[in-house]
Amino acid sequence: MIARRLKPPVAQRIPKTDIVHGETRHDDYYWLREKERPAVTAYLKAENDYADALLRHTRPMQETLYREMLSRIRETDLSVPYPDRGYYYYYRTEEDKQYEIHCRKRGTLDAPEEVTLDLNALAAGKPFLSLGPYHISDDGRLLAYATDETGFREYTLYVKDLRTGELLADVIPKVGAVVWAADNHTLFYTTEDDAKRQYRLYRHILGQSEDTLVYEETDELFNLFARRTRSGVYILLASGSHTTTEVRYLRADAPQGTWKVLAPRMQDVEYDADHRGDLFYLRINDTGRNFRLISVPVADPRREACVEILPHRADVMFEDVDLFENHWVVSERHNGLPKIRLIEFDTGKTHDLSFSEPVYEAFVSTNREWKTRTLRYGYESLITPRSIFEYDMDTGTSTLLKQTEVLGGYNASGYASERLYAAAEDGTAIPISMVYRKGFGKNGPGPLLLTGYGAYGWPSPVIFSSLRLSLLDRGVAICIAHVRGGGELGKTWHDQGRMRHKINTFTDFIACAEFLTRKGCTTPDRLIIEGGSAGGLLMGTVVNMRPDLFCAAVVHVPFVDVINTMLDDSLPLTVGEYEEWGNPQNPEDYAYIRRYCPYSNLRPVDYPALLVKTSLNDSQVMYWEPAKYVARLRTLKTDRNPLLLVTNMGAGHSGASGRYDRLREIALDYAFMLDRWGVQ
């Protein structure tokens, strides 16, 4: 390959030495943190140029993939309208436009369309745009919305008069949650500190320049979140860490009133709340890790006055509850698969929504109406496109409202999905979700993409993507390793992959890879892995532990410099993350993190080919982590495999914000993979 004769960029080495718990640590690339330094920008651009040159031969494939993926998408499309206070709300997309256009119609879908917010107009001339909060006042006249124009998750709040289309003078920077009071002219919003922690709640009255500080959270482990209850009667302010929650409440029609604590914080007790009638309902894990449901009187919300409605179950993760005037909806997960149940308050009658595929996702969709006998829910799987249904409790039937269309004649019967299990080092069964085009493996082991995440108790979603067809139709199988640290099997599954059990996440993933090779699905020279953020940490660790097991890895915004980041409590997220990873200021936590931190454990061996991607304005995993990782690895690795660093110079943690730009990014990833597999 001609590109191999190109010389990669060489980052300047500026020694920096620290002593941590008696260990002398050397970091020659600490200087890459200096974002405003011209040498940093020059280095990142040099890496981009090198990657572009090394991948130049894949440009035709990138263009083919882009056109292919685009051809399956209906570019001019419409979401399913949902009713809310006399309007139907929806968004639509238009061909050749990067962003959504948010709209509504009054009273009926035959009414004239009102455009509430055109993101394309807001994004004109900007490389990035992300919409945060989007909330309409109770009377339907005002829209409070917030946008980020850099990718740094720095949202500015605006208020738009939907009658005139004019923006009010009320503009507030660095907001998080935004909530309307019922009076239609009072807003509550949270704002961030220097470490991007949402820590203060303010009350803002439209037209006034001075806002009132309502609450400040002083514990750096905690972030603030605010929302209206589904009933609309109360505003809730939740202060939460990774392990503990405290909720305050205020009547929405009395915004000048006094906030009250619903249930005082207790270490390692998490809860969320909602309201109906004279009761608050709490999903709480005070008697078991997987949560139960209790109610407490609004007049006396002490936990001693609670009534248990749904007990804790060790084998079922109780994920969420949605309250309506006449029924409540339970979202739970059993054996790693989601379930939805509707229960009628008056009769106790239960409606169970059943799903037949071996792996899938099912979720409660947008339901804004409080008084209703129907439920909107969504369903999709690795082979079934996203589908929005409406369930009628009177007839017991579901009606399909819309299934995402896949253009070009997609036929799900040509593909198969299944659930497999790999045995971890300690014997634990690790679920694997697999999808492939029928016929995969008939001619022996084939190319296989294995993805994973495994952190924060978040289940890896088993969803449909028409983009994946570009791999599946070329004979690639795709697998998701549901490793510990995620939430597929409840809170204990998370517990077994966090803090001083974090090693399980990595050994589980390796066990899944070994299982797939033993099963004959693939071989190490045909196995590529992919993960992002905490999943990028997973990638960085497993290629250190078993570089021989994979032929390539695609690593997105990877959290690979764990020790140095977690030692710096001035960085976004760091302090709050102590309850997920540990605090390396503690010698025992330091020693444990030291075992797996990718940057700290790079060594002189043959590594697989690596495509490492980041964004300059990422506020969750700073760009310098992958930049330092690549710079140091270049000095150590003993192979001639490609090591590429690609930096989006105008985006954040999720990459490009425009839908066409995002397709280009994915086309590059896929072209890199197909090139490593030798597949055209």
DSSP state letters, 46-110: HHHHHHHHHTGGGHHHHHHHHHHHHHTS-SSEEPPPEEETTEEEEEEE-TT--S-EEEEEESSTT
- Residue 26 bears catalytic tag: no
Question: Rounded distance, CA 154 to CA 191, Å?
Answer: 10
pLDDT > 60? residue 478 = yes
306-315 pLDDT per residue, tens: 999 999 999 9
What stretch of H or E contains 273?
Answer: strand 271-276
CA distance linking residue 679 with residue 477, whole number of Å = 13
Residue 670 has what DSSP assignment? Answer: H
In the numeric block, the tokens 């995402």 are attached to: 404
pLDDT digits (tens, 9 = 90+) for 181-190: 999 999 999 9
Q: Give SS3 for 478.
A: strand
pLDDT digits (tens, 9 = 90+) for 540-549: 999 999 999 9
Q: By the 8 A CB rule, do 459 and 494 touch?
A: no
Confirm whether 135 is a catalytic residue: no
* DSSP E strands, 121-253: 130-136, 142-148, 155-161, 167-180, 186-192, 198-205, 212-216, 223-228, 234-240, 245-251
Kindly state the tokens that stand for 537.
């940490």
User: What is the tens place of the pLDDT at every residue in 12-70?
Assistant: 999 999 999 999 999 999 999 999 999 999 999 999 999 999 999 999 999 999 999 99
For the record, the structure tokens of 85 come out as 């206070």
Percent of the chain at pLDDT above 70? 99
CATH for 39-70+415-677 is 3.40.50.1820
DSSP H helices, 425-467, are none
Question: Is residue 603's pLDDT more than 80?
Answer: yes
CB contact burial 124-154 (16+ within 10 A = b; e otherwise):
eeebbbbbbbbbbbbebebbbbbbbbbbbbb
For the chain, what is the mean pLDDT? 97
Looking at residue 1, what is its pLDDT?
39
Of the listed 417, 653, 654, 669, which one is catalytic? Answer: 653
Which of 148, 274, 589, 618 is flagged as catalytic? 618
Q: Give the whole-angstrom CA distance, residue 455 versus residue 532.
A: 11
Say whether pLDDT at 343 is over 80. Answer: yes
Distances 519 to 224, 436, 445, 606 between C-alpha atoms, Å: 47, 15, 9, 25
Give the start-to-end residue ranges of the domains of the chain: 39-70+415-677, 315-406
Q: Where are the alpha helices (DSSP H) in 525-650?
A: 534-545, 562-566, 578-581, 587-596, 624-634
Asked if residue 358 has pLDDT above 90, the reply is yes
pLDDT tens readout for residues 492-506: 999 999 999 999 999
- Only one residue has tokens 């640290």, namely 485
Q: What pLDDT score does 231 carry?
A: 97
Rounded Cα gap, residues 72 and 454, in angstroms:
31
pLDDT > 70? residue 3? no
Helices within 124-162 (DSSP H only): none
Point out the catalytic residue in the list 331, 465, 533, 619: 533
pLDDT score of 6: 87
Give CA–CA dist 527/513, Å, rounded. 8
Per DSSP bridges, beta strands 609-615 and 643-648 are: parallel
Other Cβ atoms less than 10 A from the Cβ of 547: the count is 18
Closest to 484 (Cα-Cα) out of 524, 511, 463: 511
pLDDT in tens, 428-455: 999 999 999 999 988 899 999 999 999 9
CA–CA distance, 652 with 620 (Å, rounded to integer): 8
Distance CA(444)–CA(55), nearest Å, equals 29
Catalytic site includes residue 618: yes
Do 129 and 123 form a contact (C-beta atoms < 8 A)? yes
Phi and psi at residue 474, in whole multiples of 5°? Answer: -100, 15
pLDDT grade for 305, boundaries at 50, 70 and 90: confident
Res 408 pLDDT > 60: yes
pLDDT at 94: 98
Q: Quick one: CA dihedral 146, 149, 154, 156, positive or negative?
A: negative
- pLDDT over 90 at 411, yes or no: yes
